[in-house]
Amino acid sequence: MRARLGRIAPAPDAPLARARGISSTGVTTPFVYLDHAATTPLDPRVRDALLPWLGERFGNPSSRHKAGAAAAQAIDAARGEVARAIGARREEVVFTSGGTEANALAVLGGARARREHGRHALVGPTEHACVRECVQALAREGFEVETLRLDARGALDLEHAAARLRPDTILVAQMLVQNEVGTIYPVRELARRVRARSKHALLHVDAVQALGKLELDVVDLGCDTLALSAHKAHGPQGAGALFVREGVVLEPLVHGGGQERGLRSGTPNVAAIVGFGAAAKLAEELRPRHAHALQTLRTRLVEGLARIPGARAFEPGAPHVAPHIVALLIPGVPSEVRMHHLEELGVVVSAGSACQAQKQSISPSLLALGLTPDESRTLLRISMSRTTTPTDIDTLLTALAQVEAKLAPPKR
């Protein structure tokens, strides 16, 4: 695997317009990509696995002729790989269009299927918008929604959670790895409390940031459903999965052909799912080695940041922090300005999570983590994957020092 991805192409222009001349983003600069929590590059082995399904191999998996059977078989093989990567059984994996749909199916479908047992739902304090906003939709449908709490260190407050659990609690949604700051939440411990107090509750875990980074075992975690996304682990965009523990009932969001055990009707995206299978297999094979390498890179990065005046790594819930995400606070200009200056020097990081950057609003998760609005606006996220090298980290640190010198307030 190569860490450098070639060139910043004028790609955003391409569908919009025919761009000519020199792009202001510098057409020919090779760049260091440190935004792997947003998406990861497709692994060439994954591409090799999926490409035949965009070419000579094709078929509708529901068709009863042999082209259909071959597609069905390919999906089933991918299902096995995804199941293996999370310690599930093959039949417990439902393919979706991505992490957002997997989360929506669990949160909306899980709550709606449990209406007769209660209307109380608990949601983690720093969930991704796709979970948070599904829960808000439930509130509009008449569910009673409460938010879990963090303690002073930024870890999940389990005692508070235990106190909020009730016999009529039908849904608990808590992510495993926080996407903006990397905190790993104690889902296993939460699960025990849920089982002890709320026998009808569905425990849903958003594990989109965890695949290939942490050892994932759905039985050990004790969850009922768990969401994954292919493209966060060097797979293609457009495929995701929901683990649905055997016996767990969900109300489908999409009705029709009855694919995916009736939980997700619609002809599946065969190529992307085949790619997801290959990506999950690789992620799991490579994880032990790379998790260690990522930890070393993370230490190198955090130590390097300490040498930049004013900069500090923000690590709520430490030491339970994912090895691939570092949140960085530097007072001064908004993170977006700093991000573009790094980009100009060929280093790509994130100014908050991608969705938040578009909305120009402050992430509710960061506020829940105790940051002030001003601090939130200066937060940069650096995220790595198995393609990241020590040179990438050193390039970032050098570039950041350069940017800080340029952005220092001008002398009057």
Chain contacts with other proteins (rule: CB under 8 A):
12-13, 16-25, 333-334, 336-337, 339-341, 343-344, 358-361, 407, 410
Distances (CA, A) of 291 to 222, 386, 387: 23, 8, 12
Rounded-to-integer distance, Cα 316 and Cα 313, Å: 10
Q: What are the contacts of 333-340 at 24+ separation with CB within 8 A?
A: 333/378, 333/407, 334/377, 334/378, 335/377, 335/378, 335/379, 335/380, 337/407, 338/378, 338/380, 338/403, 338/407, 339/380
Cα of 36 vs its chain's centroid, Å: 9
> From CA 170, how far away is CA 154, in angstroms rounded?
26
Strand locations in 236-363 (E): 240-244, 312-314, 325-329, 347-348
Active site residue 223: no
Tokens 């009057």 identify what position?
412
Work out how close the CB of 352 gets to other proteins at its nearest, in angstroms, rounded to a whole number: 13
Residue 306 CB, nearest approach to other proteins (Å)? 25
Catalytic residue among 130, 134, 223, 355: 355
Nearest-approach distance from CB 35 to other proteins, in angstroms = 13
CA 173 and chain centroid, separation: 15
Nearer to other proteins, 132 or 341 (CB): 341
CA distances from 74 to 67, 92, 97, 390 (A): 11, 17, 17, 37
Measured from the CB atom, the residue of 155 and 407 that comes closer to other proteins is 407
Q: Nearest approach, Cβ of 351 to other proteins (angstroms)? A: 9
Residue 330 CB, nearest approach to other proteins (Å): 14
Q: Which is nearer to other proteins, 169 or 356 (CB)?
A: 356
Residue closer to other proteins, measured from CB, 336 or 394: 336
If phi > 0 it is left, if psi is from -120 to 50 it is alpha, else beta; for residue 137 that is alpha
Residue whose CB is less far from other proteins, 177 or 351: 351
Contact 195, 168 (CB under 8 A): no
Q: 225-229 and 240-244 as β-strands: parallel, antiparallel, unpaired? A: antiparallel
Q: Are strands 32-33 and 347-348 parallel, antiparallel or unpaired?
A: parallel
- CB closer to other proteins, 292 vs 359: 359
Q: Considering the complex, what minimum distance in angstroms separates the CB of residue 13 from other proteins?
A: 7
Q: Where are the alpha helices (DSSP H) in 51-183?
A: 66-86, 99-112, 129-140, 158-164
**Residues known to be catalytic:** 355
